Structure 1
Amino acid sequence: MCGRTACTLAPDDISKACEYRNKGEEQKRPRWREGDSDKYKPSYNKCPQSNSPVLLSLKHFQKDADSSERVLAAMRWGLIPSWFTESDPSKMQYNTSNCRSDTMAEKTLYKGPLFKGKRCVILADGFYEWRRQDGEKQPYYIYFPPVKAEQSPDEKDSTDDNGRRLLTMAGLFDCWEPPNGGEPLYSYTVITVDASKTMNWIHDRMPAILDGDEEIQKWLDFGEVPAKEALKLIHPIENIIYHPVSTVVNNSRNNTPECIVPLILKPKKEPALSASSKKMLEWLQSKSPKKEEPREVLKSPKLSQYAVSPKKTSAGLMHQWLKREGEPSPKRPKR
């Protein structure tokens, strides 16, 4: 799944990091849809219902445009379908921040946008996932590996000036118009798949990540690539890295660089033993049980034998230890 992301680049830097080659092999930089660059706010801790930068075909807004041309838009995280009848999108009863790849072609919420070509790419520096262990949840930050200097220009698509690649997640979007009039609301959902071997020890689901500009082009170009063909791009990938981060990210109101700073996890301490448990452990380590000797036929004991001290066997030592443990400890003298 994907429930929190980080996207810290300014609007102009996002546009620059999303440069691509069109069908004529021209290097192009997608522009922002009018007014949308102001709706997007960079954040180290983005959660559902916030606005995120989304890449999609320009043809969704300009009918005469080529479907391979791209545009940037700010969309609300959590899909509101076009047929939603309430006047307030917050009254949506279903969690639509993610949609499962294995059922999206069947569910009413998602099959409409899927087969109408409403495919988009959600942009982020990385996303967060929580690993559950021993009743606790440890957050991890997950992202693309940095681009190396010797890599080809094609491999450097969607990178910023520091060589960091924007994470490009496949999604679906829709446009909802308020029944009482008002500005249309564009919203999206992140498609999820079974987690890859790289991260399935953290969580069993992960976003469907498009690795490289060729995959992005095929996913966005709904005019040339039908849904059935585009769905072949939706699968787990191994080309990601991660590191643990502070639990400060657990609260979505915390928007600081600390959210993504690597954290060194300390090994957990063993629980402290009580005084009686320590005595028992010491006794077990110092006394090993002896093999039981075969019993002899005992004669009737003489009366004088009862005055003889019993042999201190391991069982006798245990009996004495238990007896001492059961006795009340002497009171300390008052000072």
Structure 2
Amino acid sequence: MCGRYSLFVTPDELEERFGVSVPADYGPRYNAAPRQDLPVIRADPDAELTRANWGFLPSWTDDPDDAPRPINARSETVRDKPMFRDAFASAGAGADLATAGRCLVPADGFYEWKEEGGGKQPYRVTLADEKPFAMAGLYAVWEGVEKQTGLDAFAGGGKAEPETRRVVSFTVCTTEPNDLVADLHHRMAVMVPEGEEETWLHGGVEEAAGLFEPYPAGEMRAYPVSTAVNDPANDSPAVVEELGAN
């Protein structure tokens, strides 16, 4: 499972790595968590880094406030599961990407927790060279109207017009772990190999599914970090520091 990750490389590094423009409001995230608005790259001709909320919300959801919001999607079932199949199938020229599709979720590390000494020790997992990488994601766009209470409906002495609401959301695909991550968790994020980003964004379902293999363990490293990362409110450089490194 992927339930927390980091992205604190510079805008220049992101632009060079992914060929996208980075908005001025981009800032480092050391402890990205579910239900936060985070950077993603969609199949957009403008090639921009945009934001989406972590927790998938399909366009056909009736009540977005009470709906389940999965942060991960098992790669083995994305073709068939109603929650994700439209997003996974939407790619390529002429595809309707207005409501769902595939996306890249840029990161420079993710966290997993391992049972050690009667507790859970967090580890940060990165590429061996600590360069940014892309996790395979799916996005959806939900649009509707805000719920109204009786007071809302008659605010100001008359019936108020309902306010529209738009939520762009995403989930991270997961796969079987490689030998490195298997020591920490039974699942890992699908990491898109460098050079295969267009395959994930625009390729057919068979081509995209070919990227679900675990990333090579020999090209990655994992190290223990402080349990401060357990609290999403702790979003500072301290949470990525290796325990015992000093």
The answer on whether the counterparts of 2:144 and 2:166 sit within 8 Å (CA) in structure 1 is yes
Correspondence for 2:151: none
**Which of 9, 30, 36 is residue 50 of structure 1 equivalent to?**
36
Aligned residue for 1:191, secondary structure, equals: strand
**Which of 264, 276, 279 is residue 244 of structure 2 equivalent to?**
264
Q: Distance in 2 between matches of 1:207 and 1:14?
A: 22
Q: Distance in 1 between matches of 2:145 and 2:207?
A: 35
Structure 1 residues 96 and 110, CA gap change in structure 2 (3 angstroms): same
Correspondence for 1:102: 76
- Please say if 1:127 is aligned against 2:110: yes
Q: Cα deviation per residue 1:163-219 (whole Å; 9 max; x = unaligned)?
A: x41121001101111234535221110000011112201111100001212x11211
Structure 2 unmatched ranges of 5 or more? 92-100, 147-162
**Which of 124, 131, 143 is residue 165 of structure 1 equivalent to?**
131
Structure 1 residues 185 and 16, CA gap change in structure 2 (3 angstroms): same
Structure 1 unmatched ranges of 5 or more? 20-28, 60-68, 147-163, 266-335
Instruction: State the AA in 1 paired with 2:124.
Output: Y
Identity %: 31
Alpha-carbon RMSD: 2.0
**Structure ID, larger Rg:** 1
Matched positions, count: 218
**Which of 185, 199, 207 is residue 218 of structure 1 equivalent to?**
199
Correspondence for 1:116: 90
Deviation of the 1:245 alpha carbon:
0.5
Q: Distance in 2 between matches of 1:112 and 1:84?
A: 14
Mean Cα displacement is larger for which, 126-135 or 247-256? 126-135
Q: Distance in 2 between matches of 1:205 and 1:145?
A: 19
Aligned residue for 2:209, secondary structure, equals: helix
The answer on whether the counterparts of 1:55 and 1:121 sit within 8 Å (CA) in structure 2 is yes
Instruction: State the AA in 1 paired with 2:33.
Output: C
- Tell me which stretches of 4 or more aligned residues in structure 1 moved more than 6 Å: none
- 1:98-247 aligned within 5 A: 98-117=72-91, 118-146=101-129, 164-180=130-146, 181-213=163-195, 215-221=196-202, 225-237=203-215, 238=217, 239-247=219-227
Correspondence for 1:4: 4
Q: Distance in 2 between matches of 1:18 and 1:81?
A: 30
Structure 1 residues 171 and 124, CA gap change in structure 2 (3 angstroms): same
Query: Which fold has the larger relative contact order, with Cα–Cα distance below 8 Å and residues 6 or more apart in sequence?
Result: 2
Deviation of the 1:242 alpha carbon:
1.2
The answer on whether the counterparts of 2:55 and 2:69 sit within 8 Å (CA) in structure 1 is yes
Correspondence for 1:82: 59
